[in-house]
Structure 1
Amino acid sequence: MSVLPNPRHEAFAQALAKGKTADEAYAQAGYSPNRGNATRMKANENIRKRVEELQGRSAKRVEVTVETLAAELEEARALALTEKQTGAAVSATMGKAKLFGLIVEKHKHSGSIGSYDLTRVTDDDLDRLEAILGPLADTGGDTGGAET
C-alpha cells in the first residue's frame, strides 16, 4: 500500500502511526472534532493497513542491534581492505572490538575541579570534608593545599 489518495486520510493515518489518539489524529488531519467519526475512520481497513505500513517502516529504521552494527563495521572493514586503506580497516576492527566489549577505554582525569571559598564553612562541615578527603591526602592524593 502507498500514500492514501485522500490527503486528510493520509494525515490521519500518519498521526495514528505516531501514537496520537483517534480524536487527536482526526483534529490534526483538519476535521472538526467528532469522536464517532474518528473511531469509524480509525476502523477503516485502508487506514488500518496504512498505519501498519507506516509503523513497520519506523520499526525497521530504528532496529539497530549489536549484530547489525557489527555487520556494518565488517562491511566497512572489507571495503577498506579492498581499497588498501589499512588505517580505516584497523579503525573498523577496533570498532568491532569495542562493540563486543573486548576493549574498554579508560580515562584518567586530572587537574583542578575549581576553587572554593571555605572561610564561611562551619567547623562541623570542615570536619566532614576532612573525613571524606583526608584519606586521599594520606595516600598521596591532591597536595595542592598542603603547606611545605
Structure 2
Amino acid sequence: MPALKNTKHEAFANLVAKRDKTKMSVTVCYIASGYSTDGHAAEASATRLLSSAEVQARIAEINAPVVAKSRVTVASLLAELQATVEAARAAKQFGAVNGSLALIGKLTGLLVEKVEMGGPGEFADAKTPADILRALAEDCGSVGELIEQLEFMLDEARAMAAGQARPIAVVEHKSEDKWKKLNGFNQAT
C-alpha cells in the first residue's frame, strides 16, 4: 500500500506505528500530525481517525516486519551466488567464480569443512585411554566398527608417514676402521 493521499493521515499513521518507541498517546500523535484541536475534541478526533480502515491498514503495513520485505533464504542466496558466478565468468574473474562456487557447495551441503563426532564435553568424563575407547566404541556403534575405523586411520597415518620419509643413502666403506672413524666411533675401544 502506498502512502496515504492525505498527508496528515499519513503522518498520523506513521506516528501511531512508532508509539512503542515514542510513548506518545494517540491524541498527541493526532496533534503532532498537524491537526489543531484541543482537549476532548482532539481525543475524540484521534480515536475516530484511528478507527478508519485505511489508516489501520497503513499502520499495519508500517509495522510489518522489515524481514518479510527482505527475507534471506538459502534459495535467495543461491540465486545471488549463481548471478555472481555468471558475472564473474563474463568478466574472466575466475577467483570470484571459485569463491562463489565454494559458497554454493557449502550452502547446499556438498562441501563440509569439519565434521565433529559427539557433542561438546562428551569426552569430559574420560580419564583413561580405556574410557576414551569405550566412548568411541559407543559412538561407532560397536567395538568391531571402532577397530575398523582405527585400522583405517592407522593405514592413513602410515601413508602420511611414508610420504614424509627421507631416503637414506647407503655408503660402502672399504674398511671397518674407516667406517668407524666416519661415524664417530672411538677406535681405541
- With normalisation by structure 1, the TM-score equals 0.54
Change (3 A) 1:10 1:107: same
Equivalence map 1:44-83=2 (5 Å): 44-55=52-63, 58-83=66-91
CA distance in 1, matches of 2:99, 2:57: 43
CA distance in 2, matches of 1:106, 1:28: 57
Identical columns (%): 24
Counterpart of 2:18?
Answer: 15
SS of the residue 2:72 aligns to: coil
Counterpart of 2:97?
Answer: 89
CA RMSD, 1 decimal: 4.0
Task: Provide the aligned length of Structure 1 versus Structure 2.
Answer: 113
Query: Given the alignment, which residue of 100, 103, 113 partners 2:111?
Result: 103
Higher relative contact order (CA 8 A, sep 6+): 1
Counterpart of 1:146?
Answer: none
How far the C-alpha of 1:107 sits from its partner, in A, is: 7.7
CA distance in 1, matches of 2:106, 2:81: 11
Q: AA paired with 2:29?
A: A
Change (3 A) 1:106 1:46: same
Contact 2:14/2:59 (CA < 8 Å) preserved in 1? Answer: no
Contact 1:66/1:99 (CA < 8 Å) preserved in 2? Answer: yes
Q: AA paired with 1:14?
A: A
Change (3 A) 1:36 1:106: farther
How far the C-alpha of 1:54 sits from its partner, in A, is: 2.7
How far the C-alpha of 1:100 sits from its partner, in A, is: 1.1
Q: Which runs of 5+ in 2 are unaligned?
A: 32-38, 117-123, 133-189
CA distance in 1, matches of 2:50, 2:129: 65
Q: AA paired with 1:29?
A: C
1:20-40 deviation line (CA, Å, top 9, x unaligned) = 4xx9662773769x9977654
Contact 2:17/2:62 (CA < 8 Å) preserved in 1? Answer: yes
Change (3 A) 1:8 1:99: same
Counterpart of 2:3?
Answer: 2
Q: AA paired with 2:80?
A: E
- With normalisation by structure 2, the TM-score equals 0.44
